[in-house]
Copies of this chain bind each other. A is one copy, B any other.
Amino acid sequence: MAAPKIRMHVPDALHKGQTVHLTREQSHYLFGVMRLNPGDPVYIFNGRDGEWRAEVIETGRRGGMLSVRAASGPQQLPPDLWLLFAPIKKARTDFIVEKATEMGAARILPVTTEFTNSERINRERLQQHAVEAAEQCGGTYVPDVADLARLDRLLADWPSDRRLMFCDEALVGARTSLMSAPPAAKWAVLIGPEGGFSAPERERLKSAPFVTPVSLGPRILRADTAAVAALTLWQSMLGDW
C-alpha cells in the first residue's frame, strides 16, 4: 500500500514556481509530526486552482517553505447544493460538516429552528473542519460554512431558482419524490433537529412552492446519519455520482 499523499489547504494563489510560506501550525504538522525533509512532496490546493505537487524547500518548526512544481489534479466543483442543518451536540455537528464536505456539498448553512438543540456555533471552527475534511478526502473544493441563521428568515427570503429537499420524518412509507421534482440546477437539503420540526414549521415547509419533501425511510435517523443519507439520495439521483 503506497503511503497516503500529504495534502494541505493553503490560501495562496497557485502556479508553477510559486513559493508558499507555511504557517506555524502547518510547519509543526509537516516537520514536527510528519517529519518531512527538503525535497519531500506535499500536495496543496486552495479551493480555486486545483491540486499542485509542491516540494519542501525549507524546513522549520515556526515557518518553512514549499515550492510549487506541477499541477497534479484539476479543480473540482461540486454541484450547487446547500446543506441546511440544525446544530446538535458539538461532536455530531463537527461530523455533519466533515461529512457534508466529503459528500460534495457546495455550502453549509447552520440554521436554528423551533426545536433546535444548540443556539450557538463556532463558525471558524466548523470552517476549519471543512478544510481538514477536504484535505483528507482528496477534494480540492472547500464548502463555505455560513453563520447561524434562523430557518424562518431563510425561508422568507428564499431564492426563487433554488429547490429545497425537505427530509420529512413524518413521511414514513413514502418513496422519494426527487425524480419527479421540477428541474432545477440549484438545490438545498434541509435536515431537522433531533426533536424534529414543529407543526407550524412542517406546514410552512410543505406548502412552500420550492419545497420537495422526501422520506428517509421508516426508522428514525440521528441528524448526522440523516445528513449523509439525504446527500447520498440527492447526489445519486441528481448530482455528480
| A residues with CB within 8 A of B | 1, 76, 98-99, 102-104, 115, 136-139, 175-176, 195-196, 198, 215-222, 225, 228-229, 231-233, 235-236, 239-241
Distance in angstroms from A48 CB to nearest chain B CB is: 17
Apart from A98-B222, A216-B241: 14 A-B pairs, beta carbons within 8 A: A1-B115, A102-B219, A102-B221, A103-B219, A103-B225, A136-B220, A138-B219, A175-B241, A176-B236, A176-B241, A217-B236, A217-B241, A218-B241, A232-B232
In chain B, what residue has the closest Cβ to A176? B236
Q: How far does the alpha carbon of A233 sit from the alpha carbon of B229 in the complex, in Å? A: 8
Which residue of A104, A219, A231 has the most chain B CB atoms within 10 A of its CB atom? A219
Whether B233 contacts A236 by the Cβ 8 Å rule is yes
Distance in angstroms from A98 CB to nearest chain B CB is: 8
Chain B residues closer than 8 Å to A115, beta-carbon distance: 1
Q: How far does the alpha carbon of A1 sit from the alpha carbon of B218 in the complex, in Å? A: 21
Whether B241 contacts A104 by the Cβ 8 Å rule is no
Whether B229 contacts A217 by the Cβ 8 Å rule is no
Contact partner of A228 among B98, B219, B220, B229, CB < 8 A?
B229
Chain B residues closer than 8 Å to A99, beta-carbon distance: 225
10 A-B contact pairs sorted by A residue (CB < 8 Å): A76-B218, A98-B222, A102-B219, A104-B219, A139-B220, A176-B241, A216-B241, A229-B231, A232-B236, A236-B236
